[in-house]
Amino acid sequence: MSAEYRINVRFNQKNNEHLKMLEFFSSQGGKFSRNRFIIEAIAEKIGIIEKQNRQDEDFERFRQIIREEICNAKLTVVSSDSDKTALSDDERQQNDDLALDALDMFG
């Protein structure tokens, strides 16, 4: 095997995380290969990073689509015309009469 594929791992015994890993390996009593464990952990971490990168790319594509749609949207501004919403004197009198008739129902 070529030296470029070989990695030596050293644990810093002053680092609490490293000490936890050392304790874990010691407690397993050779139940599994440390090399295999480390390789699988690295592979899992790479998978997580790749998944996050895909999610970031998907999110960026989504943002781009939203930006394009907003830029292409035609916005219509509706102005209020106070003359159209105001009641004529006859309409106002009719509304008043209807309201009084409704109140007469209550005695």
pLDDT tens figures, 52-89: 999 999 999 999 998 888 887 776 666 665 555 677 88
Q: Global pTM?
A: 0.49
Nearest Cα to Cα of residue 21 among 5, 1, 42, 37:
37
Nearest Cα to Cα of residue 42 among 5, 13, 3, 12:
5
CA dist., res. 66 & res. 13, Å (int): 51
CA dist., res. 38 & res. 21, Å (int): 11
The domain locations on the chain are 3-104
Q: Distance from CA of residue 7 to its chain's centroid?
A: 38
Mean pLDDT of 85-99: 81
Coil, helix or strand for 75?
coil
Residue 61 φ/ψ, nearest 5 degrees: -65, -40
Q: For the chain, give the percent of residues with pLDDT over 70.
A: 83
